[in-house]
Structure 1
Amino acid sequence: MKIKGVFIIKKKLLILSRHSSLDVRGGIEFVLDDYITELSKKYTNVTHLATSQKAREQIDNNIKVKLYNGITFVKNILSIRYVFDSLKLCKGRTVNIHFPFIPGAIVGALLTKDTKIIVTWHCDVVLAGLPKLIYALLVPLVESTLKKSSKIIVTSQNIIDSTKLLKKYKDKCNICHIPLKPLNNDIKTKKIIGLPREYIIFIGRLVDYKGLKVIINLYSNHSHELPPIVLAGQGPLSKDLIKLSKHNPAKVIFIDRIISEEEKNYLIENSRFMVFPSNTRAEAFGVVQLEAMRYGKPVINTELGTGTSYVSKDGVTGITVRPNSVNELKKAIIDLYDDKKMQTEFSKNAKERIKTHFSYEKFANNLIKIFDV
C-alpha cells in the first residue's frame, strides 16, 4: 500500500474464539469486543472468526466478524470450514487464540512456528466442562499452541498459579485485567417494578457452575433467616428457580429473561450487595462482579483459584467463601446484610479498587503493549 510516495505496512490480525457477542452475551464475549475495539486502532485489518448455531457475517470498516455453524460436541461447535479458513487467513497475520476452544486448539497446533501467535487464556480447558478423555486428547494440541506462542495473556496471577498447563510457560504470561468503563452520564437505568424495598442480587447465566443450586438449597431451607434475593437470567436451571420463587415469592424474586443493560444497572444500583457463588474453575473472572463494584456494591464470592477472588477481595470489598458451602454462604449473607458499617467500608473499597486496578484506560494501554510483538 502506498500513499504519496510513502509505503504503509498493512498490519492484519486474526482473532479465533468460541463465541462472539453477535451470538452470545457473556463476559468473555464483551471482553472480545474490547479487544476488537482497541486492536482495530493498531491493525489495519481485523478478522474475528467464531462458532455459532447459525452462520452469519458482519463487516464494519476494517473489522470483519464471521460465525461458522457445525456439529455440537462437548459444548463446542466443530466446523471443518472454520479450521480451513483459519489456516488460510493466518498467513501474514498476528493470530490471537482465545482458550478454552477445541477448534482453536486444532488450528494452533497446525500453525507454523513462524506464525505470530498470542494466546488469551480465560480458563482451564478441562474445567470448562470437557470430559477428561477429550481433555487428554486436547492437551498435546494446546501445549503445541502454547509452546509456539510468543505471549500468553491471562486475566489474573491466580490463573497462572493454579493452572498446571501454564506453569511451564509462566515467563510468556502477561497479566491483562478485564476492564470496566467508569460510571458516566451515558450509563442509564431502567426501573423494574415489583421489587422489594431491600434485596440482594444475583445476575448471570443459569448454569450449574454459577453455583445456583447452593442458592436454591439455601432459600429452600433457610429463607426465614435471609433477606430477599433477586435472581435475573436464563438457562437450564430456570425451571428450578421458577419453582423456588413460586414456593416463596416474598423472599425469591426471579426475572426469567435476559435483562437489558439499563435494567441490570437498575437492579445493581438498588441492591444491598451481590452474591456470586460460582463453584468450578469454569468461572474464570466474573465481569458482573466489576459491574457491582462500580456501584460500590460489596460481593460475596467463592475461592476457585481463578480470578473471581482476585476481582473482589475477601475482607476488603466483600466476603469470600468456599464453593458449594451452604453454611458459609448463609453466614456471609447474614453477617454482611446486618452490618451496615461493613457494607459502607466494602463499598468505599470497591469503588477504589475499580479505579486503581480495572480502569479501561489501563487495560487498553496494556493490551496494545502486549501486542507489540
Structure 2
Amino acid sequence: MPHDPIRVLHVCKHYHPFTGGIENVVRRLVTGIDGVEFRVLTTAERGRGSVDEVDGVRVVRAGNLGDVKSTPLAPTFPLRLRQQLAWADLAHYHLPFPVGPASHALVRPDTPHVATFHDDIIDKGPIVYPYEPILNRFLDDARRVLVTSPNMRDECDRIRPFADKTTVIPLGVDTDDDPITPRRPTDRHVLFVGRLVPFKGVDTLVSAMGDVDGRLSVVGRGPERPALERQAEREGVADRVTFEGFVSEERLEHLYRTADVFVLPSVSANESFGIVQLEAMQHGLPVVNTALPTGVPYVSVDGETGRTVAPGDPDALADAIDALLDDPERYERYSVAAQRRVRDRFTSERMLRDTRRVYRETLDEA
C-alpha cells in the first residue's frame, strides 16, 4: 500500500543549482505538488557525489567523472538508484538521460515508474545505438509516458508505439489575475533567452538582424557565444546586438517588459517545447518561432500569438519580425491572444494538478 503522503523519486540528469529547462521543471514539481513527499536522484556536475537539501527536499547526487556526448559518466548511479527506490512508492524519470534507463535496467526494480519524455536524443551518432533497445524497453515498462505537447505524442516516432499510455501535460508558468492589456511596440527591441548552443539557432537570428530595423538582446550563456560575437562583428550588426550573458531575475523581468518581440529561432527537434515562449507570452510579447515537429509551434501559434517560420531561414525570420513591428493593430491582437493562451492552457497550477493526478492513478493501478 502507498504511504500517505506518497513518496515519489525524481530521476534526472542535473538539479538545482544547475539551471536548465528540465531542471527548472523538476524543481517546480517537487516544490509545488501538495500531498507528496519527494526526493531527487541526480548526478554531480563533476566530481564526487553528495547528499544535500534544496527547498526542504533531499537531493542525492551521484559522482560524475565527466560527460561524454552530454551524458554523465556516473558509475555509482545504479547503486544510488537501488537505494532510493527502496524508499519510493513511485519513480518519475526525466528524459533524455541515458544513465537513468540504463541503471533501471540493471537494478530491475519492482517500484512502478512513469517517465516524462522531454525530447529524444538527436545528433549523437552511433554511440547511442546500444542505448535504443534499453530506452524502448524502459518506455514499454513505464506505467505512463508523459509528454509536454500533442505534437510530441502524435509526431515523435519514439513515442507513437506507446500512444495508449501517453498523457499530455504541457509545461506551465505562474500567472496572475491582472487584467489582460495589449502591449504596443515602442522601441523595435527584439529579445532571445536561452542557452547559446547550436540547436538554438541564434546564428540565424544574428544574420536576420542585418535586415531588421531594430536591436537585439541575447540573454544566456553557452559555448557558442564567442563565435556569435565574431559573427555579429563580421556581419556588421555588433552595434545593434547585445550579449547580456547570464542575468538576474530582475534584469530578465526588465527585458521582458521593455522588449517588443520575442524570438525562438531553434533549428532542430532538440527544442521540444521552449518554456521561454510562455514567459514572453505572459508579458504580452508576440513570438516568432520555427516550424519544428515538436511542441514549439504548439506553444505560440502562427497567426494567433505570433509568427512561425521555417527553421534556419534568416530572411523569413527578418520578414516576420518586421511584419509584426510594422503592424500595430495585428501586434496588439497577438499580444492579447498570447496572454490569454498562457492563462487558458499553460499554468503551473494545471501542470502540478495533472501530474499529481497521474501519480495517484498510477499507484491505484499498480
1:118 maps to 114
1:202 is paired with a residue whose SS is: strand
1:341 maps to 329
Structure 1 unpaired stretches of 5+: 1-6, 186-195
Alignment of 1:1-373 (within 5 A): 9=4, 11-23=6-18, 25-39=19-33, 41-54=34-47, 55-59=49-53, 63-68=57-62, 69-91=64-86, 93=88, 94-112=90-108, 114-125=110-121, 127=122, 129-131=123-125, 133-183=126-176, 197-219=187-209, 222-223=210-211, 225-246=212-233, 247-255=236-244, 257-372=245-360, 373=362
Q: What is the Cα deviation at residue 60 of structure 1?
A: 5.1
Whether the 8 Å CA contact 1:177–1:358 is kept in 2: the answer is yes
1:44 is paired with a residue whose SS is: strand
Q: What is the Cα deviation at residue 217 of structure 1?
A: 2.6
Aligned residues: 348
Whether the 8 Å CA contact 2:11–2:92 is kept in 1: the answer is yes
The farther-off stretch of 64-73 and 331-340 is 64-73
CA distance in 1, matches of 2:310, 2:54: 45
Distance 1:20 1:10, change over 3 A: same
CA distance in 2, matches of 1:336, 1:349: 14
CA distance in 2, matches of 1:264, 1:116: 40
Whether the 8 Å CA contact 1:16–1:49 is kept in 2: the answer is yes
CA distance in 2, matches of 1:239, 1:62: 38
Whether the 8 Å CA contact 2:10–2:38 is kept in 1: the answer is no
Equivalent AA in structure 1 for residue 98 of structure 2: I
Whether the 8 Å CA contact 1:97–1:108 is kept in 2: the answer is no
Q: Deviations over 1:33-69 (max 9, x none)?
A: 1111134x33335233234124443225862112232
Q: TM-score, normalised by structure 2?
A: 0.89
CA distance in 1, matches of 2:305, 2:71: 35
Equivalent AA in structure 2 for residue 215 of structure 1: L
| Identical positions, percent | 26
Equivalent AA in structure 2 for residue 91 of structure 1: A
Whether the 8 Å CA contact 1:38–1:368 is kept in 2: the answer is no
The runs of at least 4 consecutive aligned structure 1 residues that moved more than 4 Å come to: 7-10, 244-247
CA RMSD, Structure 1 to Structure 2 (Å): 2.2
Whether the 8 Å CA contact 1:10–1:45 is kept in 2: the answer is no
Whether the 8 Å CA contact 1:16–1:50 is kept in 2: the answer is no
Q: TM-score, normalised by structure 1?
A: 0.87
1:178 is paired with a residue whose SS is: coil
CA distance in 2, matches of 1:242, 1:61: 37
The farther-off stretch of 225-234 and 345-354 is 225-234
Q: Deviations over 1:292-349 (max 9, x none)?
A: 0011100000111111111101110000011111221121112111111111000000
CA distance in 1, matches of 2:87, 2:215: 56
